[in-house]
């Protein structure tokens, strides 16, 4: 049965191997350029006072091929798991049911349990290996840019780094297999897989991920030089949004508070803050109020804690779906 599972999976496996080889070649080529930029900017050798070197590095990256490489790579790591769910997961059983070939396979001397186990192991194993390699390549290649320009705990970057893509891919794959088994038609199963996958993966940054590790909390003094903006509403009410994001963390809430600890809402002093005097005067006045920022965030140091927890959630979901597939194949599927 293992031979046959591989034989059926031969073309996708070859396409995947070719795709991974192409990505590896791209990363090897651009990786050398990136290493040169890291060295020539001085970032590789600097100690302590690295700000200028880092700025120089980011400047070089942004104006070279590596700016696009970084973005395409990010995109690639995000789209591969749902594509696996759609093109490997959904047709795995649904296509057999559509063509009636399950009747051919189930009447050879191989039990259904072994049939489903072999299929899940061959394609699921390839899924984990391929996405693991891709994510490892992307994470390694992007590490300096992640740290210096963005942050790997922020939602946009986080989902394409470390080990969560493997969890996403295994989930997408088993989800595809399950929907294909239940719907029995490949194309509707693909659509359903994509819809459920997007919902599940979007729910992570929106509702779940921030709870995967204890939140950090900081109340730095409000720095008017990095302030994002302030707004004066009617009746003397105003709001101020501070700019500091501590140590590249993922900021979940950012309020400006008074020395007494309440959220700052004014009152506005019309002497400094009115249309007739410039905003600089108002900004300066804000700086004299002793305001602080009240920030809750996930620091970059929580990256791996959250990665393991989130990957665990998706691997457990994939295991539950796979168990369902076993049960359904043995007792319900016809």
Least CB distance to other proteins at residue 113 (A) = 10
Q: How many CB atoms lie within 10 A of CB 200?
A: 17
3 binds other proteins (CB under 8 A): yes
Given the rule CB under 8 A, which of 93-101, 119-127, 177-185, 292-300 is the region that contacts other proteins?
A: 93-101
Tell which one of 107, 261, 275, 276 touches other proteins (CB under 8 A): 107
Tell which one of 45, 101, 147, 226 touches other proteins (CB under 8 A): 101
Cβ–Cβ under 8 Å, residues 194 and 85: yes
Least CB distance to other proteins at residue 32 (A) = 40
Tell which one of 49, 225, 276, 334 touches other proteins (CB under 8 A): 334
Residue 189, classed as helix, strand or coil, is helix
- Please report, as residue ranges, which positions from 109 to 168 form the binding site for other proteins (by CB under 8 A): 109-112
Q: Could you identify the residue written with the tokens 């088993």? A: 174
Alpha-carbon gap, residue 178 to 329, rounded angstroms: 10
Cβ–Cβ under 8 Å, residues 314 and 171: yes
What pairing do the DSSP bridges indicate for beta strands 216-218 and 229-232?
unpaired
Q: Can you read off the two tokens belonging to residue 58?
A: 């980011």
225 binds other proteins (CB under 8 A): no
Q: How many CB atoms lie within 10 A of CB 125?
A: 11
Given the rule CB under 8 A, which of 45-53, 97-105, 130-138, 183-191 is the region that contacts other proteins?
A: 97-105
Q: Could you identify the residue written with the tokens 């809402």? A: 265
271 binds other proteins (CB under 8 A): no
Alpha-carbon torsion, ordered 179, 185, 187, 190, to 10 deg = 10
Given the rule CB under 8 A, which of 33-41, 86-94, 104-112, 246-254 is the region that contacts other proteins?
A: 104-112
Tell which one of 49, 51, 100, 235 touches other proteins (CB under 8 A): 100
H or E element in which residue 238 lies: strand 238-241
328 binds other proteins (CB under 8 A): no
219 binds other proteins (CB under 8 A): no
Nearer to other proteins, 47 or 332 (CB): 332
Tell which one of 21, 39, 65, 99 touches other proteins (CB under 8 A): 99
Instruction: Count the site residues for other proteins by CB under 8 A.
Output: 21
Nearer to other proteins, 3 or 207 (CB): 3
- Residues 269-295 as b/e (b if ≥16 CB within 10 A, e otherwise) read eeebbeeeeeeeebbebbeeeebbbbb
- Please report, as residue ranges, which positions from 7 to 26 form the binding site for other proteins (by CB under 8 A): 7-8
Q: How many CB atoms lie within 10 A of CB 159?
A: 21
Nearer to other proteins, 6 or 285 (CB): 6
Nearer to other proteins, 28 or 110 (CB): 110
Least CB distance to other proteins at residue 332 (A) = 9
Cβ–Cβ under 8 Å, residues 238 and 319: no
- Phi, psi dihedral angles at 218 (to 5 degrees): -145, 145
- Interacting residues toward other proteins by CB under 8 A: 1-4, 7-8, 99-101, 103-112, 331, 334
């Amino acid at each position: 049965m293992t031979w046959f599972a591989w034989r059926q999976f031969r073309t996708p496996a070859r396409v995947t191997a070719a795709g991974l080889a192409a990505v590896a070649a791209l990363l090897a080529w651009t990786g050398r350029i990136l290493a040169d930029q890291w060295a020539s900017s001085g970032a590789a050798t600097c100690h302590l006072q690295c700000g200028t070197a880092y700025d120089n590095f980011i400047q070089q990256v942004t104006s070279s091929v590596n700016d696009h490489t970084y973005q395409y790579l990010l995109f690639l790591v995000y789209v591969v798991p749902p594509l696996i769910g759609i093109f490997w997961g959904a047709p795995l059983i649904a296509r057999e049911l559509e063509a009636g070939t399950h009747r051919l396979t189930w009447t050879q001397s191989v039990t259904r349990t072994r049939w489903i186990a072999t299929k899940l192991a061959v394609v699921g194993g390839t899924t984990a290996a391929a996405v693991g390699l891709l994510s490892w390549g992307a994470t390694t290649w992007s590490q300096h840019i992640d740290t210096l320009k963005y942050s790997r705990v922020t939602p946009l970057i986080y989902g394409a780094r470390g080990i969560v893509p493997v969890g996403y891919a295994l989930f997408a794959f088993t989800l595809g297999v399950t929907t294909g088994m239940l719907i029995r038609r490949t194309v509707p199963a693909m659509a359903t897989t994509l819809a459920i996958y997007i919902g599940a993966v979007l729910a992570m940054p929106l509702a779940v991920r921030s709870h995967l590790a204890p939140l950090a909390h900081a109340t730095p003094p409000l720095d008017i030089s990095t302030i994002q903006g302030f707004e004066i509403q009617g009746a003397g009410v105003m709001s101020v949004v501070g700019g500091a994001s501590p140590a590249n963390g993922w900021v979940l809430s950012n309020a400006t508070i008074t020395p007494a600890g309440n959220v700052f809402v004014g009152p506005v002093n019309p002497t400094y803050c009115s249309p007739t005097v410039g905003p600089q005067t108002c900004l300066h006045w804000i700086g004299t109020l002793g305001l602080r920022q009240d920030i809750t965030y996930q620091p970059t140091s929580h990256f791996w804690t959250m990665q393991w927890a989130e990957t665990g959630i998706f691997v457990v979901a994939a295991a539950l779906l796979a168990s369902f597939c076993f049960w359904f194949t043995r007792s319900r599927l016809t």
